[in-house]
Amino acid sequence: MLDFVNQRTGYSIFYKPTLKTMVTMFLGFIAAMAFITFVYTKLKGLWTHWVTWLVTVIVIYVVCVSGVVYDIIHDVPFVGRDK
């Protein structure tokens, strides 16, 4: 992203994160992974239940067939009008 901004503006901006920022990001990543692992192990029965997968697959199928994915890919406007 910084390369894009530098290219568009003609400036030469350089970003070097401080040690405090890097440590904070690392500890935040470790905390997020620990939280996700905790949630996964507590809800393992839910993730492996066949009804969960059935409902998930049906929702994904309905969303894809209804044209939402087409609209996202082709940037179709939400509301159209006649000229």
Q: What is the pLDDT of residue 34?
A: 97
34 three-state secondary structure: helix
Report whether 13 contacts 6 (CB < 8 A): yes
Q: What is the pLDDT of residue 27?
A: 98
Q: Domain ranges in the chain?
A: 1-42, 49-83
User: pLDDT truncated to tens, each residue of the chain (83 aa)?
Assistant: 778 888 888 888 788 889 999 999 999 999 999 999 999 999 988 888 999 999 999 999 998 888 887 888 888 777 766 66
Rounded to whole angstroms, how far apart are CA atoms 27 and 21? 10
pTM, whole model, 2 decimals? 0.49
Rounded to whole angstroms, how far apart are CA atoms 70 and 58? 18
